[in-house]
Structure 1
Amino acid sequence: MPFHSRTGGLRRAAAVLSLAAFGFATPAPAQPAFETAAPHAILIDYNTGTVLYEKAADQKVPPASLAKLMTEEVIFDQLAKGKVSLEDTFTVSQRAWREGGASSGGSTMFLPLNSRVSLGDLIKGIAIQSGNDATIVVAEGMAGSVEGFARMMNEQAKALGLKDSHFMNSHGLHDPAQHVTMRDMSKLATHIIREHPDHYKVFSQAEYTFNNIVQQNRNPLLAMGGGTDGLKTGYTKESGYGLVASAERDGRRLILAMMGMKSIAERKTESERLMEWGFRSFEQTVVLKDGEAAGEARVTGGAVSTVALVPKGPVTVTQPRGTDVKVTRNVAYQGPIEAPVKKGAPLATLQLTINGKPLREVPLYAAADVEQGPLWWRAVDMAGGYVSSGAGWVANEITTRVMSAWNGEPATTGSTAPAIPAPAPASPKL
């Protein structure tokens, strides 16, 4: 590498590279506003996190059986940590049988009293049959009590950033102190899909048979097709009819959360309308292809002076069909970045804005290894930022001597130190 390419001084603490702005234009007019009869709703694009529609999404409401999504999340988390296994069995207690069984009048898995049931079966009974008894068996088996399990639910909610949700039980039956928001429920669904893809598949199962009883999945969108593959319905008289659903079409996934509808029929109609509107009215545009570099970061003391920055997978933005948008990309990183650098190391952030408004941030990673350079290259990097000062002269002298020694040359530089002005004469005494 030429010597001059190694110089350039120390990078400032926060280096920001502005990349060229570019626009995407489509000829059709902007989509009209959408309205739903649901009192509380939010629709988001899973891939980009873009909110496509929201209505009172931050208002706290009783969760009903949507609380079972957090019950399942706690189970999935404990499975991932190796604390439990799908083969573990738990006993159906008097409380589970009485409060969640057939005599309770609520949704149930019809678990026999004092029987032992595997965690794998209980997961299905909660996701597909919405069994209140199954959630109590899980709570008692994993935490000793429903109350203890609720503490686990709240700890997990806090860890996931669900700041407006609080749980008092594992099944969602009404408690005045228990509440969620539709925004939090959409975040929870996003997390389950992303972090537990194998377990997420259970939410798409159309029916489940246990104890010789066949029960259908209560999600109305599953039977309608359209790519729906989860998640959960809910109802109490205090909450009204609710739903958290997800559907994927042509590589796009939308997540819908809504609550407060007046009937099963209204829930079915409004959820279908909102999901269809989301797929029809918005599209995704690729900002960066998989493996495409977003920019480069300067590297200090390396065999090369820069490293390419790439995302993990393609980067897309969601926009209304028929609108002219200008997407601006900025790459920000904390510098200087010192060699060695490992491929895949997180180094920077891609900041996306649309028409001047912040949209999303995407992590960027080193596209290749950067090994440390020879000693004299590293010395150049160290000295480069001080060439205009006396300290810089000293650093350059050291650098030149190191380079001469490296090449077997006499350690003479032919340079002179910058002149140091003589002190001013003392003022005469009067």
Structure 2
Amino acid sequence: MTKHFTRFSPSLRHTAGIAVIVAALMAPAAQAFDTRAGSAFVMDQTTGTVLLSKNAETPLPPASMSKLMTLYMLFEALERGTVTMETTFPVSSRARAMGGSTMFLNEQDTPSVRELILGIIVNSGNDACVVVAEGLSPTGTEDGFAALMTQRARELGMTETTLANASGWPNPQHRMSMRDLGVLAQRLIEDFPDYYLYFNEREYDYKNRAPANRLNRNPLFRLDIGADGLKTGHTEEAGFGLVGSAAQGDRRVIFAISGMDTDQTRAEESAAIVNWAFRQFAERSVAKAGQVIAEADVWRGDQTRVGMVPESDVTMLVPALSGDSIEAEIVHQGPINAPVVKGQILGEMILTREGLEPVRVPLVADRDVPLGGFVTRVLTTSQVLLERFTQDNVATGESGS
């Protein structure tokens, strides 16, 4: 049976109880981005559109990028009231002995939560992470805290995350996928907007102990592209990586990359990804809340049809040069049995663009359709059957006699 193409006013096609509506004005595809990263995940946070996924589900050593999970746990403790920004933690000999990047804590220090947040974000302090882990863990150990982080990560939908420590220190059991890091970045931004502001801090030096390590290592801060977080990472096994975010206008882009050879390559690739994501795609309005997209047949109602509408405004990303052209498919089980209640979910609109995941929008009834009386039910049912017969004949090129 031939599909009918138009823009939100197509004919219905019924197959095995499924009513399908197709509207199509094809849009040119956005230019693909061939990243040099071994693994990459890029998402438009505003619309939830995944723009790029390359080996994004593969568990990899995340290095210091996994410090984001330590921060998430600390932010949750702040929200629960378990700690405040002024709460102080002791520094253990184990924390003081941590190698790699540190904020140069010692056993005489009692850093506050705020100081530890800055020490982790700006200085990438491995020592600060151990202090937080030991301070928040019910067992007082980093191992106990790592187990809690892994459990919480799974609850947040980070299915390829297993954490062995709080800092990202090399460990064969310490793994995260780039998709999971992207999900974590999104949760940090959306769940803790006030605390997220700390990711935009450019320098910090705890008690003036490390002036050479005072600057935030995010390479995008040197560019005027709207970057405001999140975290770099590097080990010999992992290479150079970055979980980053940038906002321009009403849009925000989140990305996670890993496996770069040098910090310079990481900086170049990160900037290229952000520029590509903003320039190649634009947000377009598809439908307004309450706009009738299609109509569904109603059995036994006092009306033969009911409008199908989105509950809220629908926007999506399209290639920047495509204007408003998109392809849509509306699917619902039909006909609908009366009574129908306004707001009742009747079907969905599936919006597709080449190279991107489809967007599924629930469609609901725009009004009540009460059950009709006996005579009304007979008349409306006959009308529905006649309209369907006519539509099917038109679709197949047949004519009734």
TM range, smaller chain: 0.7 to 0.9
Give per-residue Cα distances to partners, 1:341-389, cap 9 Å, x unaligned: 8x9x999755433479860234678999x8xx9xxx77969x969x99x
Shift of 1:199: 1.6
Deviations 1:281-314 (A, max 9, x none): 22222213467576789999xxx99798544555
1:208 is paired with a residue whose SS is: coil
Across the two proteins, how many residue pairs are aligned to each other? 357
Q: Which 5+ residue runs of structure 2 have no aligned equivalent? A: 1-16, 382-401
SS of the residue aligned with 2:35?
coil
User: Hey, what does 2:243 align to over in structure 1?
Assistant: 244
Q: Is 1:76 paired with 2:78?
A: no
Q: CA, structure 1 residues 177+379, in 2 after alignment: closer, same or farther (shift >3 Å)?
A: same
- CA pair 257-358 structure 1, distance change in 2 beyond 3 A: closer
Distance in 1 (CA, whole Å) between partners of 2:272 and 2:281 is: 14
Note the C-alpha offset of 1:209.
Answer: 3.7
Asked if the contact 1:128–1:207 (Cα under 8 Å) also holds between the matched residues in 2, the reply is yes
Q: How does 1:19-30 map to 2 (within 5 A)?
A: 21-23=23-25, 25=27, 30=29
If you compute each CA radius of gyration, which structure gives the higher value, 1 or 2? 1
Shift of 1:226: 0.5
Structure 1 unaligned regions, length at least 5: 1-14, 389-430
2:167 corresponds in structure 1 to: 171
The one-letter amino acid of 1:118's match is S
Cα distance in structure 2, aligned partners of 1:349 and 1:122 = 47
1:117-144 Cα distance to aligned partner (Å, 9 max, x none):
2222222221222111111111111112
Matched, 1:118 2:120: no
Q: C-alpha separation between the residues in 2 aligned to 1:167 and 1:145?
A: 14
> Cα offset for 1:96?
1.0
2:315, 2:30 → 1: CA distance?
24
Match of 1:158 in 2: 154
Change (3 A) 1:363 1:174: farther
Please report how far the alpha carbon of residue 330 of structure 1 lies from its aligned counterpart in structure 2 after TM superposition.
3.0
Q: Residue 135 of structure 2: which of 131, 141, 144 is its match?
A: 141
Between the aligned partners of 2:353 and 2:18, the Cα distance in structure 1 is: 18
Match of 2:240, SS state, is strand
Other-structure match for 2:199 = 203
Task: Quote the RMSD (CA, aligned, Å).
Answer: 3.9
The corresponding residue for 2:11 is none
Give, in whole Å, the separation in 2 of the partners of 1:346 and 1:86.
45
Change over 3 Å in CA distance of 1:126–1:347 after alignment to 2: farther
Q: 2:116 and 2:58 mapped to 1: Cα distance?
A: 31
1:186-197 correspondence runs (5 A)? 186-197=182-193
Q: Structure 1 residues 32, 22: CA separation in 2 closer, same or farther (over 3 Å shift)?
A: closer
Which residue pairs with 1:217 in the alignment?
216
Superposed CA deviations along residues 54-106 of structure 1, whole A, max 9, x for unmatched, are 3222222111001111111222233334443333221111111112xxxx2x1
| 3-state SS in 1 of match to 2:48 | coil
Name the residue aligned to 2:270. Answer: 271
**Kept after mapping to 2: 8 A contact 1:239/1:259:** yes
Q: TM-score, normalised by structure 2?
A: 0.74
